[in-house]
Structure 1
Amino acid sequence: MGGARSWWGWGDEAGALSGGEADALVGRVAAFFPGQDFADHAPPSPEDLPVAPSRVRVPGSLAHLVSAGVVDRLSHSRGKAFRDVVRNLHGDTAHVVDLVARPGSEREVVDVLDWCGREGIAVVPYGGGSSVVGGVEPRFEGPAVSLDLGRLDRVLEVDEVSRAARIQAGVYGPHLEDRLRPYGLTLRHFPQSFEFSTLGGWLATRAGGHFATLYTHIDDLTESMRVVTPVGVSESRRLPGSGAGPSPDRLFLGSEGTLGVITEAWLRLRERPRWKAGASVAFPDFDGAVAATRAIAQAGLHPANCRLLDSTEALLNAGTPVGGGVLVLGFESAHHPVGGLLDQALGHVREYGGTPLGDAAHSDAAPDGAAAAWRSSFLRMPYQRDVLARRGMIVETFETACTWDRFPALHHAVVSAAREALEWACGGGGVVTCRFTHVYPDGPAPYYGVYAPGRWGSTVAQWDEVKAAVSEALIGAGGGITHHHAVGRDHRPWYDRQRPDPFAAALRGAKAALDPAGILNPGVLVG
């Protein structure tokens, strides 16, 4: 992390777009929306906002762990979704946590949970605060404490024989990789939020990472976990696999802080890649690009990168004008050259009209222009979103997964629903883009972007209308309400419809057994 974290928006202040970058971005977007008012609305000073006093009295034994500072409380009360950023820009101080607790050991985590359980105080695990689904917001009545495990940030053990490490949950992505680098090992899990999210957050939300195929979620890299619950500590045994009943780790993976607080885990590692090969492939039509992507996903080649950008996404975020889309391919290995795998993949795409852009890179050379431009834009997208949100634009995403046979109907339903909602919520003129973030032999994970002109002061309500319409389309077309962004509070209405009723009853039973006082992240996953 490069400096002081932004209390109202993405990342850190040092990473934000410069004035020149912001002007250039607004200029590009203005070409799409010539009638939009792009007046800048600077964030308010947090010290000037009407934040209610803390309602919580801390026992003396825990006083050294907590903070009641206004900036601390505000920055821990929202995630980093579009609606979070805009509400911060408007100075909305509804639902602010009363305190921020930063335990420095597992024993202190237990002490905080015991205290909050006795007093009936809600505990909202924070992770890195990068939630985009309302997962860290105390959207309920009553006092709340934000639990920040940032002090639990060590790599405790490295098992070089089994290629695994025992890691504390509060470690941020860059710090984790720095600790593994001397061993020549890597977790190789790089979500877009990598720089500003923690291992515990990845586990609690079943985060999607670097690999577009095969090892797509943090689940695939988890060997065992240690979790503090209000009724005791759960620690699973380190095993490469087990058939002994339902997996205890699976109970807590994706539990979003509702069943316990993940304090550490053993993670499967790999050697750092030595060989890389990649190419970008242009297609004259989107259907052919989708078919080529499916062929690669089903060929057993397991590319690390297999991300399809539709023509609008390719133009906006990679600067590449194409008729149907661009497929960004990448292979990597620590053990053998991978140029042959890339050649096989390129053979598949040519059957569907794909044409490689420039020369394929069969080495550690820099990626080609389209791939490099998209990767750079991908990492900067949240900062760009913030610039446009300050100027009354609606810039947000939604993501899903579906089987290949359902994708054409789902894609049509989602794009149609988004455009219709933009028409009546924003007066038309919006742009909808699509890319595949991950692909499986049985289906893709489509990720949609929305760019639309908003009305300053109304953009949250406008986005909520679009989000609701698209979510209905996703569920109606057989997709999931989320592939890797988690459920939080924003997706609850559709998650409740997606999950089977018997499973919902079992989840409520687990919640009652592990958190009898109901203090852990109320409103997430279960009522």
Structure 2
Amino acid sequence: MTGARLKHYGWGREGEGMSAEERDFLLGRYRAKFARDDFDSIAVPRLEEISLRAPCIMPPATLAPFCTTDHYDRAAHAYGKSYPDYVRAMLGDYDCAPDVVAYPRSEAEISAVMDWAGSVGASLTPFGGGSSVCGGVEPQVDGERYKAAVTLDLRHLSGVVEVDAASRAALIEAGTYGPDLEAQLRPHGLTLRHFPQSFEYSTLGGWIATRSGGHFASLYTHIDDFVESLRVVTPRGVIETRRLPGSGAGPSPDRMFIGSEGILGVISRAWMRLQPRPTFRAGASVRFATFFAAARAVRAIAQAGLFPSNCRILDPHEAYNTGAGDGSFAVMVLAFESGDHPLEPWMARALQCCTDHGGTVEPAGAADAHLKGAAGIWRNAFIRMPYAREFLNPAAIVNDTFETAITWDRFESFHDEVKAATERAIFEVTGVKGEVTCRFTHVYPDGPAPYFSFHALGRHGALLEQWQAIKIAASDALISAGGTITHHHAVGRDHRPWYDRQRPDLFAAALRAAKRELDPHGLLNPGVLIDP
């Protein structure tokens, strides 16, 4: 990465953040929502004000050139970007900071760190870009099983190593951040075209390890779809899968590591399937009287096999909160793109599906329609929203999200049950009516991926407890109503209780067996997916 270093608290690099205008807009929405003129904000500790315990271990001379116990590095690798991560950091609680941060420059150095961590009884946490929103990168020290904590940051294993233009694929190192990855593919006229919200501040290895969801609302919805082969460093040795367009030879070894969240090994590089850079685009915004009417139009589009690159819908309150609507209508953001052919027939059929379900189309078809009107407003709000945590949390506003997936036959009742359960929990723990909104992020012929946001007026001194109560109620409702605990945000530690209920018991036993074989000392990311 180039430029300013990443913040130890907050989103992005030092010096970045929301403008005064953006802050005023967002806080204005919350003032109106909670009928308050102002909020009781507290100050977030500066880096020099954070107190860290003394490191329990020091790297040996052979590892010292790429390891550090520097104050900034330890503080910046203590947490990810989940709500409880932010609150604990806001309160100056850095007890979980790693003792050592390692920045290996090769697979051999990854292996050397693994050997050393095992020899000193330390846990080892792969960090990626640290953008986890589910407690996936917090170092673990308990004084008994793990006497110290080491965090592994692969930012020096970065770059596009090789491009195979004939097969439209590239070998890319796992520590490559999104912007660098795309910049290096651009001269070849190719793109991975995987744009999670964290794109600027997350890495290829992190995307693969967490089964990241990206730009495409349909067809290529997860990073899984782009992985051709992997190299993974485990405590028992290096695994390299065979590079193939497809194979029927038993269970896929790639699939065992995609979504493994760092508990089986550290992804060092991957061959990734690419696409031509889009040269044809068509986009539109469509208004609907209700969210469910919009959802029925989405189902028609998904089942027509049109595979739009973007097909997101926002309920009326979600549209209002981002400035994409006035709260009286739902919005669909619709887009197609291609590096090969014009898109007018696809857009025409999709808009026909919308009008069949009562949709009113804003000007459509222009190549830059995705940057204008409601679509453009929502797009900008989506990209900028992670910066809001830096001032919403200190103002005791409990604002968080959770996402899931459900089949179409159950969606409407599922939506109402989950929303009602979350709203009840907000009122019970805060005494103030909150708000729960919903949008779709990804869609499939057999169901959508609803993404809920909740907004509550919290109380300093009780924020973690209030968030936890709301999170439990929402997650219980997701699982009880038949959804998944996560569609693309991974499991981490925050989702473990519900992941344990969702997965089959025999599969959990098989996963533990794989863990014992690949990581016999249980040092990799303990507590994620399975217990040590």
Band the TM-score falls in, shorter-chain normalisation:
over 0.9
Show the counterpart of 1:133.
134
SS at match of 1:61: coil
Structure 2 segments unaligned to the other structure (5+ residues): none
- CA deviation map 1:135-160 (0-9, x unaligned): 00024413110000000011100000
- In 1: Cα distance, 2:24 partner to 2:16 partner: 16
Q: Which amino acid aligns with 1:510?
A: A
SS at match of 2:465: helix
Structure 1 segment 396-475 matched on structure 2, within 5 A: 396-475=400-479
- In 2: Cα distance, 1:194 partner to 1:418 partner: 29
SS at match of 2:15: helix
- In 2: Cα distance, 1:511 partner to 1:502 partner: 14
Show the counterpart of 2:180.
175
- In 2: Cα distance, 1:351 partner to 1:418 partner: 32
Q: How far off is 1:366 after superposition?
A: 5.7
- In 1: Cα distance, 2:297 partner to 2:353 partner: 7
Structure 1 segment 204-283 matched on structure 2, within 5 A: 204-283=209-288
Contact 1:400/1:445 (CA < 8 Å) preserved in 2? Answer: yes
Show the counterpart of 2:34.
33
Contact 1:434/1:448 (CA < 8 Å) preserved in 2? Answer: yes
Show the counterpart of 1:61.
62
- In 2: Cα distance, 1:223 partner to 1:467 partner: 36
- In 2: Cα distance, 1:2 partner to 1:320 partner: 36
- In 2: Cα distance, 1:14 partner to 1:346 partner: 42
- In 1: Cα distance, 2:295 partner to 2:369 partner: 27
C-alpha distance 371-20 of structure 1, shift in aligned 2 (>3 A): closer
* 2:307 equivalent among 302, 305, 319: 302
Contact 1:289/1:324 (CA < 8 Å) preserved in 2? Answer: no
SS at match of 2:371: coil
Structure 1 segment 97-136 matched on structure 2, within 5 A: 97-136=98-137
Q: Which amino acid aligns with 2:206?
A: G
Contact 2:335/2:370 (CA < 8 Å) preserved in 1? Answer: no
- In 2: Cα distance, 1:24 partner to 1:356 partner: 27
Show the counterpart of 1:47.
48
Q: Which amino acid aligns with 1:302?
A: F
Contact 2:123/2:141 (CA < 8 Å) preserved in 1? Answer: no
- CA deviation map 1:443-474 (0-9, x unaligned): 10000001111112221211111001100000
Contact 1:318/1:371 (CA < 8 Å) preserved in 2? Answer: no
Q: How far off is 1:79 after superposition?
A: 0.4
- CA deviation map 1:307-342 (0-9, x unaligned): 011010111113312534111100000111112211
- CA deviation map 1:291-314 (0-9, x unaligned): 111111111000000001101011
Q: Tell me, yes or no, if structure 1 residue 499 matches structure 2 residue 499.
A: no
Show the counterpart of 1:335.
340
Q: Tell me, yes or no, if structure 1 residue 387 matches structure 2 residue 388.
A: no
- In 1: Cα distance, 2:47 partner to 2:15 partner: 18
Contact 1:2/1:15 (CA < 8 Å) preserved in 2? Answer: no
Moved more, 427-436 or 32-41: 32-41
- In 2: Cα distance, 1:385 partner to 1:43 partner: 12
C-alpha distance 36-401 of structure 1, shift in aligned 2 (>3 A): farther
Moved more, 7-16 or 169-178: 7-16
Q: Tell me, yes or no, if structure 1 residue 482 matches structure 2 residue 489.
A: no
SS at match of 1:213: coil
Contact 2:53/2:95 (CA < 8 Å) preserved in 1? Answer: no
SS at match of 2:525: coil
Contact 2:67/2:102 (CA < 8 Å) preserved in 1? Answer: yes
Structure 1 segments unaligned to the other structure (5+ residues): none
Count the aligned residue pairs: 526
Q: How far off is 1:4 after superposition?
A: 3.0
Show the counterpart of 2:522.
518
Moved more, 126-135 or 360-369: 360-369
Show the counterpart of 2:193.
188
Q: Tell me, yes or no, if structure 1 residue 321 matches structure 2 residue 326.
A: yes
C-alpha distance 366-323 of structure 1, shift in aligned 2 (>3 A): closer
SS at match of 1:290: helix
C-alpha distance 298-63 of structure 1, shift in aligned 2 (>3 A): same
C-alpha distance 97-243 of structure 1, shift in aligned 2 (>3 A): same
Contact 2:290/2:315 (CA < 8 Å) preserved in 1? Answer: no
Structure 1 segment 372-383 matched on structure 2, within 5 A: 372-383=376-387
Show the counterpart of 2:204.
199
- In 2: Cα distance, 1:469 partner to 1:170 partner: 36
Contact 2:369/2:375 (CA < 8 Å) preserved in 1? Answer: no
Q: How far off is 1:210 after superposition?
A: 0.4
Q: Tell me, yes or no, if structure 1 residue 146 matches structure 2 residue 147.
A: no
Show the counterpart of 2:10.
9
Contact 1:275/1:364 (CA < 8 Å) preserved in 2? Answer: no
Q: Which amino acid aligns with 1:502?
A: L
Q: How far off is 1:256 after superposition?
A: 0.3
SS at match of 1:14: coil
Structure 1 segment 52-91 matched on structure 2, within 5 A: 52-91=53-92
- In 2: Cα distance, 1:299 partner to 1:63 partner: 58
Moved more, 173-182 or 116-125: 116-125
- In 1: Cα distance, 2:289 partner to 2:24 partner: 32
- In 2: Cα distance, 1:185 partner to 1:42 partner: 45
- In 2: Cα distance, 1:94 partner to 1:448 partner: 31
Show the counterpart of 1:367.
371
Moved more, 168-177 or 15-24: 15-24
* 1:347 equivalent among 343, 352, 359: 352
- CA deviation map 1:503-524 (0-9, x unaligned): 0010000000000011000000
- In 1: Cα distance, 2:34 partner to 2:213 partner: 33
Moved more, 303-312 or 385-394: 385-394
Q: How far off is 1:64 after superposition?
A: 1.1
SS at match of 2:63: helix
Moved more, 448-457 or 138-147: 138-147
- In 2: Cα distance, 1:503 partner to 1:444 partner: 25
SS at match of 2:172: strand
- In 2: Cα distance, 1:262 partner to 1:489 partner: 20
C-alpha distance 314-20 of structure 1, shift in aligned 2 (>3 A): closer
Identity across matched positions, percent:
55
Q: How far off is 1:364 after superposition?
A: 4.4
C-alpha distance 144-36 of structure 1, shift in aligned 2 (>3 A): farther
Q: How far off is 1:406 after superposition?
A: 1.3
Contact 2:282/2:365 (CA < 8 Å) preserved in 1? Answer: yes
Moved more, 165-174 or 449-458: 449-458
SS at match of 2:62: helix
